[in-house]
Every structure is written in structure tokens, then in C-alpha cells.
Amino acid sequence: MTKTPVSIVCALVLGCTLGAGHSVAQQSVAQQSNYAPFISDVPLVQQPMLNPEFWLQRQSDSKPLMSQSQIQAFNRSLINNNPYIIDPLAMPDMLSAKALRSYISNTSSTPSSPRFYVDGKQLERADFARYHANTNIDAVTDSNPVRFGLIVERTSLRTFPTADRVLNSEMDIDLDRFQETGAFPAEPVAVLHESADGQWYLVAAYNYTAWVKRSAVAVGDKNRIRTFTQADDFIVVTGDKVETTYVPNEPRVSEVQLDMGVRLPLAPKEQVKHLTHGQNSFASYIVTLPVRNDDGTLSFAQGLIPRSADVHLGYLPLTAHHLIAQGFKFLGERYGWGHDYNARDCTGFVGEIYKAFGVWMPRNSSWQGKTDYGHNWRFDKDSTEAQKREVIAQMQVGDLIYIPGHVMMYIGSYQGQPYVIHDVKGLGYIKQNGEFYDGELNGVSVTPLLPLHLNSTTSYLERTYAIKRIAQGAEQ
């Protein structure tokens, strides 16, 4: 493996074009004070590269990579052929004891390596016994009814029915090992089971099964839920996060956080009035939100999203321009393992980007990288660096690069270097003096691909095992 030393660009060189939003006044402040406009330990990254326009102006082709009908067919193919994507509303109305026990056991298994609480106390057998008891597996009967619901607030899906934070032996506070993924308002779920304390549901979402707080789910009629999720007229959240308008007397629809990719039906024309919750609605989109009644059942209520918010009528066209723009809306967001910290991780990042176009993705990076949807270029231990570089040289914007436990999205090349945007914890590369630099990114970042190293001897390129393209005709 050849190590390639790189220079560190710590400040903009004189004459570099500033990105949009950096005014003359800002430049003047930088010249008159100790303010440093750009300090970085990331190799080969200059400040203009942190503006999407830097990459957008290098794209000449903005035609759709897939039409909406092709995306719908793509998703149907995933449901039918990919083991990690389901239609939760197609779950059976009844589960056998064997099937439900399997769901519980596969979700809530005792890890083989030690786990620790945040205070450093190691979990003991009694701790896991308590968590397993709350899974309520003893309440499983011969026939177990499945209910259906909608998520009403952004929430976490957990390994066990508990909010306890649990770490591995490295004691990295950022990596809660009971945190699996996130769920978002208006997502349908199949409710498979209830915890012994009555505070958690075991749910099957479209790309994950885990425990969710009962208060985040409203249970209702399956057909009514399907009608809601298949409404013809809808908006999609295209910003990183937007909120519904504040409503003083209806907290269920007030300041509801909606992350990128959330889809909400527009209120039917006959239900639209000049005033909604005491506010004139002409400057807002009137959307239908799922809300939870006191008894846990599902209702629907109108909410307002300002027309100034970053939303789109229908799904965004899947183009290279939009892929870049969507990715950059998360730039600088802190890394959130399993959607922790009100954020997202590497697969959540690419998943939310593609959801804005209506494209579904498996949850984990290995589930994405090792299954056969899309166009795939695969590498094994016998693949050479030259073979990988040949494929990388032909990448298109939006292509996904997989190494074990991580995924990155290609955004373009500059001066022969391919660049990616990704949600990543570590930062490693070989410095000019040959030493390994071991740093942190811990957020959504733009980096070159080729200089990155996992450690002093292993590069990202060496560990790349797949490159995937989501594009027209990809589904087979």
C-alpha cells in the first residue's frame, strides 16, 4: 500500500474566491482583527469547497437520474427483493409465537462484549436480565395481533425498551450502543409488541425493527394510515430540519420538527380556510399531521409550515445538482450515531438525502453496500488499487462509496482529486513528514477521498469494497 503525504491547507491563499455569503464587510473584519476566517486540519480542502456553488458550477448535466415512476419501481423492487426493506403496512395482522419471539430476540440480544454505563459502571448479568424482562417476551401467546400506527414526533429506535445510555469498553460518550436509529413524523410502523412497563412498543418501520417510546406512536386503522401515506398532493421537507408554526393551544401540531425527507399531505381544498389556529394561512402550506390522542389512538390535525421554509411540492427531481445541494444542507451538523443528538450518522445522512427524492435505503452501511440494488462495482482482497482508481475516475455525483462501517457520497473532483461529503467521526491521513495524523471530524464534512486513512497503514481506498450508483434503470 502506497502512502501519499498531503499538505494541510490551514487558511485560504490570497486571491481564493470567497463562497457566497462572505461579504466585503466580513473580509474587512478579518483584516482588522485576530479573527481567522478559515482554520482547518483537513487535507486539500479550501474554504470555497464548503459552499455548494463550488461544486454545482462544475456540473453541466442536470437531467433526472431517475423519474418518479422509476423511483417507485425501484422502491417496489427493494421491498420485494431486499431483506432489509419492508412495507410495514403489509405486515400480517397476526404473528405466531415463534415469529414474534424471533423479532424480540433478534432485536434485543445480549452483546458478547462488555458494556458500561456513562459513569463507568459495567453492566452485569442482572442489568441485562432487567432489560430482557421488560421486553415482555413471556407475554407472547400462540397468536399475537399486529397493530399499525404513525410516528408523531422525531424519536429513537432502541435495542432494548430503555433510554439508558450504554457504551462499549472505549467509553466513547458519542456511541450509545443501545441506540439503533431514528424515526420521523408521518412514518408508518407495524406495532408488534408492548414492553412489560407499558412505555415502549416494538415496531417494524420500513428499514428497521426496534423499540420506540409508546408516546411517539399513534395507533390507528391500517387503511386510513395507507391513505394518508399515499396522498397525491404532498410536500417534502428539503431542508435539514424545519418546524411547523407555533400554535399556543394545540401543542400536538406546534413547532413539530420535520427532518429532510419527511412527507406530509396537503390539506384538501375543501378543508382550507382563511384562518388556521388563529393565523391567516395564505403565507403557509396547510398540511395534515398525525397526532396522538390521550388514549394513544391516531387522529389527524392541520398544521402550518411557512412558505419560506425549505420544503418542496412533491419529491425533488433526482439530479446531480439537487444531490449536491441536499448534502450541503447538513454540512457542519454534529455526528449522531444512530440518529442520536438530534442528528444522524453516515447512513442516516445519505438516507435522508435520498428520501427527499422518494428513494428508500436500507438502514446500515453493510445492508446498503453488500446488497444488489442499484449499479454496483465490487472489490475484494484481490482487487488492486489501480482497479479501484479506474472506477473512482468514472464516478458520478451521488455515487456512494463503502468501506466497512461507513458510506460517503461523491460530489465531484478538483485538480485530479475526488471529493466526498460524509457524516464521519474520525480524521486520519499521512502528513508530509510521513507521520500519521489522528484527528476528529465528528460531523458532516467535505473531504478528499484518496488521502484518508483509517490508521497509519490502511487507507480508505484499500478498504473500499463497493461503489453504488442510484440511477435510471438501476433496478433489475
Residue 32 has what pLDDT?
57
Pick the CATH number of 231-313 from 2.40.50.40, 2.30.30.40, 1.10.760.10, 1.10.150.120: 2.30.30.40
The cell numbers describing 292, all together, are: 396522538
pLDDT at 7 over 60: no
pLDDT in tens, 378-399: 999 999 999 999 999 999 999 9
What average pLDDT does the chain have?
A: 93
pLDDT in tens, 69-112: 999 999 999 999 999 999 999 999 999 999 999 999 999 999 99
Start-end of CATH 3.90.1720.10 domains in the chain: 24-66+318-469
Distance, CA of 128 to CA of 338 (rounded, Å): 21
Asked whether 162 and 178 are in contact (CB, 8 A), the reply is: yes
pLDDT at 404 over 90: yes
Q: What percent of the chain has pLDDT over 70?
A: 92
pLDDT in tens, 448-471: 999 999 999 999 999 999 999 998
pLDDT at 156 over 70: yes
The CATH architecture to which 24-66+318-469 belongs is Alpha-Beta Complex (3.90)
pLDDT at 5 over 80: no
pLDDT in tens, 175-232: 999 999 999 999 999 999 999 999 999 999 999 999 999 999 999 999 999 999 999 9
* pTM listed for this prediction: 0.92
More confident residue, 31 or 458: 458
Residue 472 has what pLDDT?
60
Residue 29 has what pLDDT?
47
Residue 34 has what pLDDT?
76
Residue 35 has what pLDDT?
79
Handedness of CA 366, 216, 162, 105 (dihedral sign): negative
Residue 471 has what pLDDT?
81
Residue 10 has what pLDDT?
34
Start-end of CATH 2.30.30.40 domains in the chain: 231-313
pLDDT band at 23 (very low <50, low <70, confident <90, very high): very low
pLDDT in tens, 219-274: 999 999 999 999 999 999 999 999 999 999 999 999 999 999 999 999 998 999 99
Asked whether 112 and 168 are in contact (CB, 8 A), the reply is: no
Mean pLDDT of 322-332: 99
pLDDT at 15 over 60: no
Q: What percent of the chain has pLDDT over 90?
A: 89
Cross-strand pairs, 276: 279
